[in-house]
């Protein structure tokens, strides 16, 4: 079912950039050998202020720690395997709380899997793996030590922002890419001025090309041309819509995987297509991902409505772009929403509590994950389109910057939402209508309101 694959595709994409107060510097020497599938790294973490002497970091389970020291003094540690997906936790007690001048050195080495045609059907974003002679690791693969500050979070979403400076060597690679910017040759240095939580690694046998719209990795010329004109059109639309020019730092990579149920993922600013044949006409997907330039990067989603502010707004922009191309472009999504509502929400609301299809009204959401996948990717965007129908596009564009400026992690996201509507002059009567029609229940009977 097209809808299903589209949804699954998106669900795996954007991992929460939870509000983390801390960041650190990560300096590393990384050595890769494609032929023997070896990877080793000498990492130094500094400029980090720890809250306690109990420190935890996480690493991919293909990697082993060979040395761990603080300011040159070896430290002992405990390895915890439970509760970590394709990874291990390392717990250590430091003699004192780490301050900005301390240097924690972690020397690691390991062997990654190498797959050829049809072998890697269980592939996903968290793997540290070479498919078809291209090694791929996202921040979710934990190919570098990721500090764990929130132990409540699932290992899938653990991230830590580093200002990184990584020197790489890979004698049998054609190109290496890390984080953002252009790929480099067999040897290179990658660094960031600002802390980044998604540090992606792509190394091995591939070519790349830069155009005005972005950087393309491992893509055919004809595909690049198609993608380029689509991205140009989306960028022009969003930049005009928001009056905020969109950057061109996007990395578009085609890294084929053998998992037939997987479409791709994003480690901002890299958008990765993992299908066997690159999909160059998926405007709904690309416009969603590019919208994260605004929702996720330019505007920071916060509060218990994190997923709504991140995903529903990105999908709302995507819908607007699609509708601008073709008035009926999202009718299928609309009908899917109605179908899901009838087949899932209503019976589930009555019978199950805690089911992931359960619909919790935005005003009642306590934990961020109560905004379920279907709510954040499908329903939320229609709620926003419905609201736009009431107040108009110009008012929506006035509202969005005010809303994100007002968002605070600790305040209920819905309170901020309604107060921000008031702030841009939406009347109490209209707010009441919006709440009644779109946010307190969702009974969209026809497509007409678009
Ligand atoms: Zn998204």
Asked if 218 and 272 touch (Cβ cutoff 8 Å), the reply is no
Mean pLDDT of 365-392: 87
Q: Which is more confident, 13 or 83?
A: 83
Task: Quote the pLDDT of residue 171.
Answer: 98
Residue that is written with structure tokens 């950039």 in the block: 17
Q: 84: CA distance to ligand 1 center in Å?
A: 24
Tell me how crowded residue 432 is: count the other CB atoms within 10 A of its CB: 11
205: confidence class by pLDDT, cuts 50, 70, 90: very high
Residue 291 to residues 17, 138, 242, 258, 321: CA-CA distances in angstroms?
15, 20, 11, 28, 10
Query: Residue holding tokens 């008031």?
Result: 422
CA of 315 to the centre of ligand 1 (A): 7
pLDDT band at 447, cuts 50/70/90?
low
pLDDT band with cut points at 50, 70 and 90 for residue 3 = very low
**Model confidence pLDDT, tens digit, residues 230-259:** 999 999 999 999 999 998 889 999 999 999
How far from chain centre, in Å, is Cα 239? 21
- Ligand 1 is an ion; residues with CB less than 5 A from it: 13-14, 311, 314
How many angstroms is it from 51 CA to the middle of ligand 1? 32
pLDDT band at 273; cut points 50, 70, 90 = very high
Q: What is the pLDDT of residue 355?
A: 47
**pLDDT of amino acid 210:** 96
Q: What is the pLDDT of residue 6?
A: 42
Residue 163 has phi, psi (to 5 degrees) of: -85, 115
* pLDDT grade for 429, boundaries at 50, 70 and 90: very high
- What integer pLDDT is reported at residue 313 of this predicted model? 97
Domain ranges of the chain: 26-206, 211-282, 306-449
Show the tokens assigned to 274: 């993992």
CA 41 to ligand 1 centroid distance, Å:
31
Residue 142 scores a pLDDT above 70: yes
Mean pLDDT of 144-154: 90
Q: For the domain 26-206, what is the CATH superfamily, name and number?
A: tricorn interacting facor f3 domain (2.60.40.1730)
Q: Are 84 and 59 in contact (CB under 8 A)?
A: no
Ligand 1 centre distance from Cα of residue 268 (Å): 10
| Distance from C-alpha of 450 to C-alpha of 138, rounded to nearest angstrom | 38
CA of 314 relative to ligand 1 center, distance in Å: 6
Q: How far is the CA of 172 from the centre of ligand 1 (A)?
A: 35
Q: Mean of the pLDDT values across residues 173-182?
A: 96
- How many Cβ atoms are within 10 Å of 25's Cβ, its own excluded? 16
Give 349 Cα–ligand 1 centroid separation in angstroms: 26
Position 104 pLDDT exceeds 80: yes
Q: What is the pTM (predicted TM-score) of this model?
A: 0.82
Ligand 1 centroid–CA 297 distance in Å is: 12
At 343 the pLDDT is: 62
Q: Are strands 201-204 and 134-137 parallel, antiparallel or unpaired?
A: antiparallel
pLDDT digits (tens, 9 = 90+) for 318-373: 999 999 998 888 887 888 777 776 665 555 444 444 444 556 889 988 888 788 77
Give the chain's mean pLDDT: 89
- Read off the pLDDT of each residue in 160-172 and give the average, rounded to a whole number: 97
pLDDT computed for residue 332 by the predictor: 79
Looking at residue 60, the DSSP 8-state letter turns out to be E
Position with higher pLDDT, 335 vs 220 = 220
Q: Which pLDDT belongs to residue 67?
A: 97
Instruction: Please give the backbone phi and psi of residue 45, each rounded to the nearest 5 degrees, phi first.
Output: -105, 125
């Amino acid at each position: 079912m097209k809808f299903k694959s589209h949804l699954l595709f998106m669900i795996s994409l954007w991992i929460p950039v939870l509000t983390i107060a801390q960041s650190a510097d990560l300096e590393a020497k990384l050595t890769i050998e494609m032929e023997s599938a070896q990877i080793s790294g000498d990492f130094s973490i500094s400029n980090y202020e720890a809250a306690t002497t109990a420190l935890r970091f996480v690493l991919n389970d293909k990697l082993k720690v060979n040395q761990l020291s603080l300011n040159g003094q070896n430290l002992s540690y405990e390895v915890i395997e439970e509760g970590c997906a394709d990874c291990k936790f390392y717990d250590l007690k430091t003699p004192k709380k780490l301050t900005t001048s301390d240097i924690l050195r972690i020397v690691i080495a390991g062997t990654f899997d190498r797959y050829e045609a049809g072998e890697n059907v269980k592939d996903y974003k968290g793997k540290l793996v070479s498919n078809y002679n291209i090694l791929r690791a996202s921040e979710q693969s934990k190919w570098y030590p990721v500090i764990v500050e929130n132990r409540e979070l699932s290992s899938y979403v653990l991230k830590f922002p580093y200002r990184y400076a990584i020197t790489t060597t890979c004698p049998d690679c054609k190109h290496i890419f890390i984080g953002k910017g252009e790929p480099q040759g067999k040897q290179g240095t990658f660094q960031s001025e600002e802390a980044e939580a998604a540090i992606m690694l792509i190394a091995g046998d591939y070519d790349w090309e830069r155009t005005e719209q972005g950087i393309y990795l491992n893509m055919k010329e004809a595909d690049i041309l198609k993608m380029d004109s689509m991205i140009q059109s989306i960028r022009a639309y969003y930049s005009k819509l928001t009056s905020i020019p969109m950057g061109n730092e996007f990395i578009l990579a085609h890294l084929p995987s053998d998992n037939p149920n997987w479409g791709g993922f994003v480690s901002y600013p890299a958008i990765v297509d993992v299908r066997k044949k690159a999909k160059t006409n998926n405007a709904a997907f690309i416009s969603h991902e590019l919208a994260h330039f605004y929702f996720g990067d330019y505007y920071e989603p916060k509060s218990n409505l994190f997923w709504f502010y991140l995903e529903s707004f990105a999908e709302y922009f995507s819908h607007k772009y699609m509708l601008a191309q073709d008035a009926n472009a999202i009718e299928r999504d609309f009908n899917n929403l109605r179908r899901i509502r009838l087949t899932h929400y209503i019976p589930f609301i009555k019978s199950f509590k805690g089911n992931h299809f359960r619909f919790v009204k935005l005003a009642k959401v306590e934990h961020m994950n109560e905004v379920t996948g279907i709510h954040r990717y499908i329903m939320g965007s229609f709620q926003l389109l419905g609201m736009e129908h009431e107040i108009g596009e110009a008012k929506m564009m006035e509202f969005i910057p005010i809303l994100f400026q007002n968002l605070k992690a600790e305040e209920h996201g819905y309170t901020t939402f309604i107060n921000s509507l008031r702030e841009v002059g939406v009347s109490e009567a209209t707010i009441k209508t919006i709440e009644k029609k779109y946010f307190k229940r969702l009974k969209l009977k026809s497509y007409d309101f678009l």
